[in-house]
Amino acid sequence: MGKASFVVRRSLQLVVTFWAVGTVLFGLFRLMPGDPTSYIVSSSMTPEARQAIIASYGLNEPMHIQYIKFLQNIVVLDFGQSFHSNAPVSEVIATYLPNTLVLMLTAFVLAYAAGITLGVLSGWYRGSRFERTAVIVALVARSVPTFYVGLLVLWIFGAGFGVIPMSGMTSAGTANLSFFAMITSVDFLQHLAAPALVLAYYFMGYPLLIMRSSMLEVLSEDFIDVCRAKGLKERTIMFKHAARNALLPIVTAAAIALGYAVGGSVLIETVFAWPGIGREMVRAVLRRDFPVAQGTFMVLAATIIILNFIADLAYGYLDPRVTYD
Amino acid sequence: MAQEETTGSIFTDIDDGGSGEEINRWQRTARLWRETLSEHWGLLTDELSVKLSMLMVAFFMVVAVIAPYITENPPLQRQYESDAEIIILKWAEPSLLGADSGYLLGTTAEGFDIFSQLVYGTRAALLVGLIAAVFTAGIGTMVGLVAGYYGGKIDDALMRIVDFLYGMPMLPTVIILVALLGPSLWNIIFALIILQWRSTARVIRSQALSLRERPFVKAAEVAGAGDWHIISRHLAPNVLPMSFLYGSFAIAWAILTEAGVSFIGLGDPNTVSWGTMLQASRAYSALQFGAWWWFVPPGICIGLLVISGFLIGRGYEEITNPKLQ
């Protein structure tokens, strides 16, 4: 099979996956015990008023009509209105998604810069104490829950020393700035530092371990010996020759990991009260605001699905040896 | 039992040559599996970090079993009456720090014995970890073997399901499922299993794909062995190391996820877990009051148990893939 037909087949698969996620989501919220309408209508309403509200959400129609409408609306990114605030769900998403992306991307860049460097070094100095320590640190970073590390950081640096804010993304009373002005303000950076560093520490282990084993593989190849024979400096061989060739697995792994990172934003945003999409999803679930829960979940799933797709396609371009069979 | 048969690699098949004592097929299958396992057990326990991790898991298991003998206070029983308030907002200081309260780690703001909660929390963690791991590895292995062995349409259908599951963000999906099914430990375990088998299935399938082409499988086919015979006796023992590897990682992920879901507030209200302890401590602002004895110990326990799972998994990974060493 050629590259073109691989891309076509993979794209079709992407569409099918989206359809499947949407269908499952629809089914979950409709078929589970408990009537979704009971959360939006109160018992004190007159029957007519109740019917009017139910009809305004389209919940009085037969299931298959609701299903078709649901799928149509997903295509045009219309997830309905919040039961809670009445605002369109797409507006809710537009408010919270950028906050999540800023936090995740910051943490991700920090984590991969540190993780790749440490991975290169621990692959190079295989069997040394440095390598053993780095691997242990990576394992510990992935074993202790992020939200727990977040709690400890808040306790020590927030409640204890008072050097970081206890919650939120900006201080109360900050004037309403444009998004760009906000994310470049000092106040925002103060709020960003703690959650971003905690997340970076958690993410770091993965690139470190991948880079290390990728380095081990590259270092056993002949061209490294050639470099040595040419009399190149150790540092030149390590970063210019070995590390560059060992980077490939990181690229695709990073794309996939970024998707799961956004999907896993739930906990860190909850601990630091960061107004992101993961925390909003949890709040929507807890107050039974199904349209918002569906919409935000769809966004988290879509991030993963699309980044997996990109990783699959990128692999073929980055490594010409890949065949599609 | 013939001793020389155990000295071969994991790919040795038992040769009974159709002669000698007539043992039934189940005994033969059991013997094959037992030999693979005992060989790997020997290799595994060579490593110090693995040995320590197993001791750690064993320690927590003992604590879980004898919990009522370690502490006499049930974890969810108020230790003193409130002053006509629904919520007790005073806590006993830990006697560990010299307070004269009689509670090793003091009490929570609701009047529960923290040490007792910590001890009983072990039960929830191990229950979630072990059950989720057994089912994750079991279902994943079965699906992977069937998909890899039969190939074609069956393989395609099963792998599309796996692809779909890979599109679902882990924690948000578990959160939604638990919110809809109701917060209980069993629902958390159920939601975890539904998602987690995906990675095991993928890896086992690719192993089965390559094993299927090996001469010993071809030979069995020619000799007239049925599908089930080949899967259970020729493929399964060879993929067992991989299932165990994914099983031990699944323990770690399951415990982490349960802690996260509980921390968010969807934990089982009738069971104490380390996650619900952290959630309660946060809800009662233990951070701001500096009551570290409430929220530091559960996190340490989670970390210790999870890292044990990861280290056992890593030790096993080095056996199955010696390149990593």
**Coil vs helix vs strand at B113:** strand
Q: Is the pLDDT of residue B131 over 90?
A: yes
Q: Where are the beta strands (DSSP E) in chain B?
A: none
Nearest to B40 by CA among B70, B65, B6: B6
Q: Is the pLDDT of residue B2 over 60?
A: no
Nearest to B166 by CA among B209, B210, B201: B201
Can you name the residues that pair with B113 across neighbouring β-strands? B107
| Cβ-nearest to A304 among B169, B176, B177 | B169
Q: How far is B80 from chain A (nearest CA, A)?
A: 28
**Coil vs helix vs strand at B272:** coil
Contact criterion met (CB below 8 Å) for A265 and A277: yes
Q: How many CA atoms lie within 13 A of A58 on its CB side?
A: 14
Residue contacts between A and B (CB atoms, under 8 Å):
129
Domains of chain A: 3-75 (no CATH), 96-318 (1.10.3720.10)
Which is more confidently placed, B44 or B17? B44
A-chain CB neighbours of B260 within 8 Å are 145, 147, 266-267
**Coil vs helix vs strand at B107:** strand
Q: What is the pLDDT of residue A175?
A: 59
- What chain B residue is nearest to A159 in terms of C-alpha separation? B288
| A 258-297: CB under 8 A from B | 260, 262-264, 266-267, 270-271, 278, 281-282, 285-286, 293, 297
HEC profile for A57-103?
CCCCCCHHHHHHHHHHHHHCCCCCECCCCCCEHHHHHHHHHHHHHHH
d(CA A103, CA A85): 25
- Chain B CB within 8 Å of residue A28 CB: yes
Contact criterion met (CB below 8 Å) for A270 and A147: yes
d(CA A191, CA A236): 39
A-chain CB neighbours of B316 within 8 Å are none
CA distances (Å), origin A223, targets A217, A229, A235, B184: 12, 10, 15, 57
Which is more confidently placed, B318 or A214? A214
d(CA B164, CA B166): 5
d(CA B167, CA B161): 10
Binary contact (A147, B163; C-beta < 8 A): no
pLDDT tens digits for range A149-176: 988 888 888 877 877 787 777 776 665 6
**Coil vs helix vs strand at B8:** coil
A-chain CB neighbours of B264 within 8 Å are 266-267, 270, 282
In the 8-state DSSP scheme, what is residue A319? -
Q: What is the mean pLDDT of chain B?
A: 80
Q: How far is A181 from chain B (nearest CA, A)?
A: 31
Contact criterion met (CB below 8 Å) for B78 and B89: no
B-chain CB neighbours of A260 within 8 Å are 169-170
Tokens representing residue B268 in the block: 């089982």
d(CA B324, CA B318): 6
Q: How far is B53 from chain A (nearest CA, A)?
A: 13
- Chain B CB within 8 Å of residue A34 CB: yes
Contact criterion met (CB below 8 Å) for B250 and B132: yes
* Residues belonging to chain B with any Cβ–Cβ distance to chain A shorter than 8 Å: 160, 163-164, 166-173, 175-177, 179-181, 252, 256, 259-260, 263-266, 278, 282, 287-288, 290, 292, 295-296, 299, 302-303, 306-307, 310-311, 314, 323-324
d(CA B140, CA A11): 26
Q: What is the pLDDT of residue B190?
A: 92
| Cβ-nearest to B168 among A21, A34, A262 | A21
Q: Name the residue ranges covered by the structural domains of chain B.
A: 63-301
Nearest to B107 by CA among B120, B97, B98, B117: B117
Q: Is the pLDDT of residue B188 over 80?
A: yes
B63-301 is a CATH 1.10.3720.10 domain: yes
Contact criterion met (CB below 8 Å) for A114 and A200: yes
B-chain CB neighbours of A297 within 8 Å are 169, 172-173, 176
Tokens representing residue B21 in the block: 């004592």
Binary contact (A145, B171; C-beta < 8 A): no
Binary contact (A151, B307; C-beta < 8 A): no
Q: How far is A297 from chain B (nearest CA, A)?
A: 7
Lowest mean pLDDT among A51-55, B69-73, B182-186: A51-55
Residues 6+ apart with CB under 8 A from A35: none
In the 8-state DSSP scheme, what is residue A161? S
Contact criterion met (CB below 8 Å) for B137 and B248: no
| A 183-222: CB under 8 A from B | 213, 216-217
pLDDT tens digits for range A131-141: 888 888 888 88
d(CA A294, CA A301): 10
Q: Model-level pTM?
A: 0.83
pLDDT tens digits for range A83-138: 777 788 888 888 889 889 989 999 999 999 999 999 888 888 888 888 888 888 88
| Cβ-nearest to B310 among A21, A143, A264 | A143
Contact criterion met (CB below 8 Å) for A102 and A195: no
Burial class (CB in 10 A: 0-12, 13-18, 19+), B2: exposed
Burial class (CB in 10 A: 0-12, 13-18, 19+), A196: buried
Binary contact (A263, B171; C-beta < 8 A): yes
Q: What is the pLDDT of residue B12?
A: 45
Burial class (CB in 10 A: 0-12, 13-18, 19+), B224: exposed
Q: What ipTM score was computed for the predicted complex, to two decimals?
A: 0.84
Nearest to A256 by CA among A210, A296, A202, A305: A305
Q: How far is B167 from chain A (nearest CA, A)?
A: 5
| Cβ-nearest to A143 among B181, B252, B324 | B252
Q: Is the pLDDT of residue B134 over 90?
A: yes
d(CA A57, CA B150): 47
pLDDT tens digits for range A242-297: 888 888 888 878 888 888 888 778 889 988 888 889 999 998 888 878 888 888 99
- At CA A205, angle to CA A202 and CA A206, rounded to 5? 110
Nearest to B286 by CA among B112, B59, B82: B112
- At CA A8, angle to CA A27 and CA A72, rounded to 5? 30
Binary contact (A267, B264; C-beta < 8 A): yes
Of the pLDDT bands very low, low, confident and very high (cuts 50, 70, 90), residue A324 is: low
Residues 6+ apart with CB under 8 A from A186: none
Binary contact (B171, A266; C-beta < 8 A): yes
Average pLDDT score over residue span B199-213 = 87
d(CA A266, CA B260): 9
d(CA B265, CA A286): 9
Compute the radius of gyration of chain A from its Cα atoms. Answer: 24
Of the pLDDT bands very low, low, confident and very high (cuts 50, 70, 90), residue B135 is: very high
B-chain CB neighbours of A34 within 8 Å are 180
pLDDT tens digits for range A192-223: 888 999 999 988 888 898 888 888 888 888 88
Q: What is the pLDDT of residue B6?
A: 42
- Chain B CB within 8 Å of residue A155 CB: yes
Of the pLDDT bands very low, low, confident and very high (cuts 50, 70, 90), residue B9 is: very low
Tokens representing residue B310 in the block: 């990861």
d(CA A320, CA B100): 71
Tokens 């992920």 locate to: B253
